[in-house]
Structure 1
Amino acid sequence: MSYKGYLIDLDGTMYLGSEPIEAGRRFINRLQENNLPFLFVTNNTTKTPGHVKQELAEKFDIHVSEQSVYTATLATVDYMKDMNLGNKVYIIGESGLKSGILDAGFVMDEVNPDYVVVGLDKSIDYDKLKIATLAIRKGAHFIGTNPDKNLPTDEGLIPGAGSFIGLLEIATGEKAKIMGKPEAIIMEKALEKINLDKHEAIMVGDNYETDICAGINNGIDTLLVLTGFTKKEDVPNLPKAPTVVLDSLDEWSFNHD
């Protein structure tokens, strides 16, 4: 079938680390030529949409608007505004997460925050975890930006935001409300932003556990491209098959019947 719009992952789909995936760039060019709306949907909270736009242009020759990037930070802001519990927040995270939340009108409060938001923070320390634990135990609404327990690096797998969230869940006895893929919130907000219903869009990505499960779990068709995390040999054993599996985005036709 033909889709009216595309939700697209970044790392492993458009590029792999610092290496461009040329088929990804060509895919975006074809979307633009066909005037088809698309939105990059990423769990990364360390970078602002403006930073992502700049990196795509400078490193990978992919030229899009800042409005084409929807991060777990933006999903967090939209969720907190919907909850309307107040404007005080304690944040564990890096500058992309902090600036995104504070620029939206929230203020930092270490003592009585309405929300505690936990993302990836490479300068995590005991004091930050203590402040978050006490605030959650006093009733602050506990939000995790994304569930990624590990990050792949050239040294191996290192702790991701999900590891810090898990520690605080144990320390507080509270489960975090997760914003990022594969959870519903980021997908529902992304569809609102692109102004499409679930059946009109397709989720494109390389990672079955996040990108493809985000589609499957939320009633959105999926395109798994084998350029990143999930390998060809994994496909026969996946719990539920993606709608489409491709070796390269060059193989995709925008007029599928």
Structure 2
Amino acid sequence: MRKQYSGFLLDLDGTMYRGKDPIPEAVTFVKSLQSLKIPFVFVTNNSTASPEEVTERLQNMGIPCEAGNVLTSSVAAAAFMSASPVKQSAYVIGESGLKEALLSHGIKEEEDTPGFVAVGLDRQVTYEKLAKASQAVQAGAVFISTNGDAVIPTENGFLPGNGAITSVITIASGKQPMLIGKPEKVMIDQAVQLLGIPRKKIVLVGDNYDTDILAGIRAGIDTIHVDTGVTAADELLQKNIPPTYSIPSLAHWQLL
């Protein structure tokens, strides 16, 4: 028997949309959440876009969203860093989404003796940036990476993701980063706090077992796998810990 949940954490790519195309069942589902006043937060490993930019993209697809409904790995990383006793400065590899998030949390950019090295996807990354980041980590800066995604899917196939960039610094410095995004629990724990609902009444919805579902499992919340993206339903049989539920699409989930 399925539980009734009071709050939802929602993945984006493969769950809400595929590339530039919204998934109709998902659009209808979020509209139902909104009409029933059931709170939800979109959780995304995307570190390049701000919550406002994510919101605009979703709204253009007809998906109800406000900036307060979005938690990106950049915002989660900045929140984690700002709560740390470490010097509030960072050498940053990343794009505007990460830089804006750090600035809004009072973390300034610094090259010489930063408290952190913060790494997000940077499509203009250079050898010099990687070298400076590695040197800062070796000198004692706390190594933070927004997510470990090795690749990102694009219209031109799979391209290097933030995990690939991060791995260069890991190998050069000999230090492992603190990972913030899915499948780690840091961002999910923050999203649970945003909802302000007991963990047992929250469920995470996602298409990718190795990021979304595993993040929910590690964070101790129920999960719903939707067969609209990366992980096919039959692949779940090979996983040691299955999702709480698996459905073909969000059209198969009854809210009441």
| TM-score, normalised with respect to structure 2 | 0.96
Q: Distance in 1 between matches of 2:104 and 2:192?
A: 23
1:192 corresponds to: 193
- 1:122 partner amino acid: R
Give yes or no for the alignment of 1:14 onto 2:16. Answer: yes
Cα distance in 1 for residues equivalent to 2:64 and 2:33: 12
2:149 counterpart of 1:148 = yes
Equivalent in the alignment of 1:31? 33
- For 1:201 and 1:63, the matched residues in 2 are separated by 19
**Cα offset, 1:177, TM superposition:** 0.2
Partner of 2:238: 237
- CA deviation vs aligned residue, 1:187-207 (integer Å, no higher than 9, x gap): 111111111232110000111
CA distance in 2, matches of 1:88, 1:106: 5
Residue type of the alignment partner of 2:108: V
Structure 1, 99-108 or 219-228: larger mean CA deviation? 99-108
Q: 1:44 aligns with which of 33, 43, 46?
A: 46
The 2-side partners of 1:225 and 1:130 are apart by 41
DSSP-derived class of the 2:83 partner: helix
2:112 alignment partner AA: V
SS at 2:87 equivalent: coil
Partner deviation per Cα, 1:207-233 (whole Å, 9 max, x = no partner):
100000001122110000011111133
Q: 1:31: how far off?
A: 0.5
C-alpha offsets along residues 36-61 of structure 1, whole Å, 9 cap, x if unaligned?
11000010011000011111111x11
Q: For 2:37, what is the secondary structure of its paired residue? A: coil
2:57 paired with 1:55:
yes
In the alignment, residue 19 of structure 2 is paired with which amino acid?
A: G
Once the 2 structures are TM-superposed, how far is the Cα of residue 105 of structure 1 from its aligned partner? 1.6
After superposition, residues 72-221 of structure 1 pair within 5 angstroms as: 72-221=73-222
Letter in 2 for 1:38: F
Are 1:70 and 2:71 matched, yes or no?
Answer: yes
Where do 5+ consecutive residues of structure 1 fail to align? Answer: none
Equivalent residue of 1:186, what SS?
Answer: helix
State the percentage of identical aligned residues.
Answer: 39
Name the TM-score, length of structure 1 as normaliser.
0.96
Distance 1:53 1:15 in 2: 13
Q: Read off the aligned partner of 2:24 and give its amino acid letter.
A: E
Give the distance between the partners of 2:150 and 2:138, measured in 1 at CA: 23
Residue 83 of structure 1: SS of its match in structure 2? coil
What's the CA shift for 1:251? 0.8
Number of equivalences: 254
More moved, 118-127 vs 148-157: 148-157
Tell me how large the CA RMSD over aligned residues is. 1.0
CA distance in 1, matches of 2:196, 2:91: 31
